[in-house]
Amino acid sequence: MNYKRKLLAVTFSALTAFASANTWASQADDLQVNNPYAREVPPGAPASASFMELNNPTDHDITLTGAQSAAADIVELHTHTNDNGVMRMRQIPQIVVPAHGQATLQPGGLHIMLIEPQETLSAGQTIEVQLQFSDGSHKTVSMPVKSLTGMGMQMQHGHMH
């Protein structure tokens, strides 16, 4: 083994050590996003929301700490809680996708709130939402806008202006 090859071998084993410590691949790279979509809202609506399935195939937790989008002025992570039979939503600081697990963002549950959405957010459009993770990485997800009317999910919202 000449010197150059030896150096490469050393570098490679250092990389392998990094990878096994789970600090090499970013959380953004590791997370799998399935079936993302955003809710259609009429012009002037105070808020919309984005939903998706998050899959974590790795052996370490992935922590979503925030999101942003050109489609809305304010973007927050939200969940719903059952408050004596009344479903209310509230902002949460993070969504953890457990190792070898999933987190499902869906109507009535976890969601990404799109507050003060852009003027038109109608079915057939595509918007982008950037997910931000606790390791500083981020992932941009393109998603269709879909009409959810007929699903009987009228969202209560606390951000009326």
Applying CB under 5 A, which residues contact Cu ion? 78, 89, 113
Q: Which residues pair with 91 in a beta bridge?
A: 78
The smaller minimum CB distance to Cu ion, of residues 26 and 68, is found at: 68
Task: Say if residues 111 and 102 touch (Cβ distance below 8 Å).
Answer: no
Helix, strand, coil shares of the chain as percentages rounded to 5? 15, 50, 40
Half-sphere exposure of 105 (CA within 13 A, CB side): 26
Task: Say if residues 30 and 57 touch (Cβ distance below 8 Å).
Answer: yes
Q: How far is the CB of 40 from Cu ion (least distance, A)?
A: 16
The smaller minimum CB distance to Cu ion, of residues 78 and 139, is found at: 78
Q: How far is the CB of 59 from Cu ion (least distance, A)?
A: 31
The smaller minimum CB distance to Cu ion, of residues 48 and 55, is found at: 48
The smaller minimum CB distance to Cu ion, of residues 28 and 72, is found at: 72
Q: How far is the CB of 89 from Cu ion (least distance, A)?
A: 4
Q: How far is the CB of 11 from Cu ion (least distance, A)?
A: 47
Residue nearest to Cu ion (CB): 78
DSSP E strand stretches across 12-71: 32-39, 47-56, 62-68
| Distance from C-alpha of 148 to C-alpha of 135, rounded to nearest angstrom | 33
Q: How far is the CB of 46 from Cu ion (least distance, A)?
A: 11
The smaller minimum CB distance to Cu ion, of residues 39 and 78, is found at: 78
| Distance from C-alpha of 39 to C-alpha of 107, rounded to nearest angstrom | 9
